[in-house]
Chain A
Amino acid sequence: MKLIKAIIKPFKLDDVREALSEVGIQGITVSEVKGFGRQKGHTELYRGAEYKVDFLPKVKIETVVSDGDVDKVVEAIRNAANTGKIGDGKIFVLPIEQAIRIRTGESGDEAL
């Protein structure tokens, strides 16, 4: 099992959710996050006073998939979240030791 963690542009969330449903993903966790990467921040001007905003809002998606599904899920996220402009985000793949469904006690791939 692998944890796929993707940081994407907030307005791409619906596209990514749809693409994940299409490849059969049953559940994801979404958080609103802030951060910076190569895109850096931007500046805002209020009555001429310039403020540098270092952290931009992004959306973090987390989903755990079986080893065989990793490539197609990563591909689905990449395609859906890609705008071709700087700041599209990143996808991380991490190993997962165990997963348990609380209601039934199923574990491993069964629990996903």
Chain B
Amino acid sequence: MAKISIVLKAVGALFLFLPAIVFAESPVTENLDSGDTSWILTSTALVLFMTLPGLALFYGGLVRSKNVLSVLMQCFSIACVVTILWVVYGYSLSFSDGGGMNGWIGGISNAFLGEVTRGSMSGTLPETVFVMFQLTFAIITPALIVGGFAERMKFSSMLLFSVLWSSLVYFPVCHWVWGGGWLAEKGLLDFAGGVVVHITAGVAAIVAAMVLGNRKGFPETPMMPHNMTMVVTGAGMLWVGWFGFNAGSALAANGDAGMAMLVTHISAACGAMAWAAMEWVKYGKASALGTVTGMVAGLGTITPASGYVGPMGALVIGLSAGILCFFATGFIKRTLKIDDSLDVFPVHGVGGILGTLLAGVFVSAGLGGVGLAEGKTISSQVGVQLTGVIATIIWTAIATFVILKLVDAIIGLRVSEDEETEGLDITQHDERGYIL
């Protein structure tokens, strides 16, 4: 006992000195803004909350009860795996200088976050906060793709796919747009990730759905959401978390952040009501699922435009998102019969494309936006937006296709027919979501 207490005292004494040691190591960071820093710390938590548990619950409720854990597990595992990737080379490839290749990809000078210290800065923020904030975006993007291949992909293949996809699609495209790459040079407007997050995820999801093939029994067999309460709960978390996503993307606690939050909220509300109204007209009733799906469409669509447009732009963007994504969902699922199981492409992909293009329109000061860059007209800006959209779609589609074929060749993509019937919870994880 005596020995233990001596050790405890020694440890206690060490802690007494710790603050002094920390202060001694911290260099002076003159341009640090504590208001900005605290808002981005908060935003980071909000954006992670979108994935865990917001998106996980949203997706988990949409699948059948035998697959609920597999979806929750995919979202959680992606969060962990992407975190490790981000440390090893993801942050570096996305945000460091790529030298001669800088248009396309960052360098490896910041691998293992080698240059990130307590004192290093990113604008008015500690770089650590910027690293964390951006990491939460890198997490949610592959997590969104889960909706395309839900209920039929092997867990191991999903992990390998997510690692390769983040490396070959997310990090490069993130660098193109936000890391000083070629689209940034061209002046592409993508405030919070219409191109970087929603188009990449949407396109990847539909490519994955086509490469894996439809779920067994689709579309004849009913595959209804097993828990709509979970879906609506998760959707509510997404709405709240999106304030961090969009208003946080100002990377400051200022007027841009405030306007981004306002337009984000307006667009979510408009998207939800537009979708519900479409259902009411077409099917006679407005549904809870339609309303929250319209909300996600409104949020995804305002994302690229959120820092540039005003409230009027947000009304138009939200309403058009609800209507266009509503028709896109029916077209992909029932006309083309592609089993993008949780409708990632029609909601996020189409929303991302629409929002990125409309950002180029409603940025105009005449339409309530912050104003076009010098020398740009609406049509030239929309031209830049269109270039970014098309390039991202092409790169994402090709890279995703190749990655899936590669993973298929190495370990296979799909579970067996028996396993699919039994459900991924039992066959992939030896667990059940519900023991009632």
Q: Mark B281-292, 1 if CB is under 8 A from A, else 0.
A: 011010101100
Of A45, A47, A51, which one neighbours B293 at CB under 8 angstroms?
A: A47
Q: Is the CB of A49 within 8 A of B334?
A: yes
Q: Mark A28-64, 1 if CB is under 8 A from B, else 0.
A: 0000000000000000111111011100000000000
A47 to B: closest C-beta gap in Å: 5
Q: Known interface pairs A47-B343, A48-B283, A48-B329. Does A53 touch B334 (Cβ–Cβ under 8 Å)?
A: no
Within 8 A of B (CB), among A43-87: 44-49, 51-53
Q: How far is the CA of A44 from the CA of B153 in the complex (A)?
A: 27
Q: Is the CB of A48 within 8 A of B224?
A: no
Q: Is the CB of B333 within 8 A of A49?
A: yes
Within 8 A of A (CB), among B276-322: 279, 282-283, 285, 287, 289-290, 293
Closest to A52 in B: B222
Q: Is the CB of A47 within 8 A of B290?
A: yes
Residues of A within 8 A of B285 (CB): 45
- What would 16 A/B residue contacts be, using CB atoms closer than 8 Å? A45-B279, A45-B283, A46-B224, A46-B289, A47-B289, A47-B293, A47-B329, A47-B343, A48-B279, A48-B283, A48-B290, A48-B333, A49-B219, A49-B334, A51-B222, A53-B222
Q: Is the CB of B334 within 8 A of A46?
A: no
Q: How far is the CA of A55 from the CA of B389 in the complex (A)?
A: 46
Q: What interface size band does chain A fall in?
A: under 10
Residues of A within 8 A of B282 (CB): 48
Q: Which label, helix, strand, loop or mixed, suits the secondary structure of the B interface?
A: helix
B281 to A: closest C-beta gap in Å: 12
Q: Is the CB of A51 within 8 A of B343?
A: no
* In the assembled complex, B123 has its CB within 8 A of some CB on chain A: no
Of B222, B225, B330, which one neighbours A48 at CB under 8 angstroms?
A: B330
Number of interface residues of B (CB under 8 A): 18
Residues of B within 8 A of A47 (CB): 289-290, 293, 329-330, 333, 343
Closest to B283 in A: A45
B141 to A: closest C-beta gap in Å: 22
Q: How far is the CA of A18 from the CA of B330 in the complex (A)?
A: 48
Q: How far is the CA of A91 from the CA of B99 in the complex (A)?
A: 82
Residues of B within 8 A of A49 (CB): 219, 333-334
Residues of A within 8 A of B293 (CB): 47
Residues of B within 8 A of A48 (CB): 279, 282-283, 290, 326, 329-330, 333-334
Residues of B within 8 A of A51 (CB): 222, 224
A73 to B: closest C-beta gap in Å: 32
Q: How far is the CA of A48 from the CA of B293 in the complex (A)?
A: 12
Closest to A44 in B: B224
Q: How far is the CA of A47 from the CA of B325 in the complex (A)?
A: 11
Residues of B within 8 A of A53 (CB): 222
A42 to B: closest C-beta gap in Å: 12
B436 to A: closest C-beta gap in Å: 12
Residues of A within 8 A of B343 (CB): 47
Closest to B343 in A: A47
Q: Mark B111-123, 1 if CB is under 8 A from A, else 0.
A: 0000000000000
Residues of A within 8 A of B222 (CB): 44, 51-53
Across chains A and B, which 3 residue pairs bring their CB atoms closest together, nearest first?
A51-B222, A48-B330, A47-B329
Residues of B within 8 A of A46 (CB): 224-225, 287, 289
Q: How far is the CA of A107 from the CA of B222 in the complex (A)?
A: 49
Q: How far is the CA of A49 from the CA of B330 in the complex (A)?
A: 8
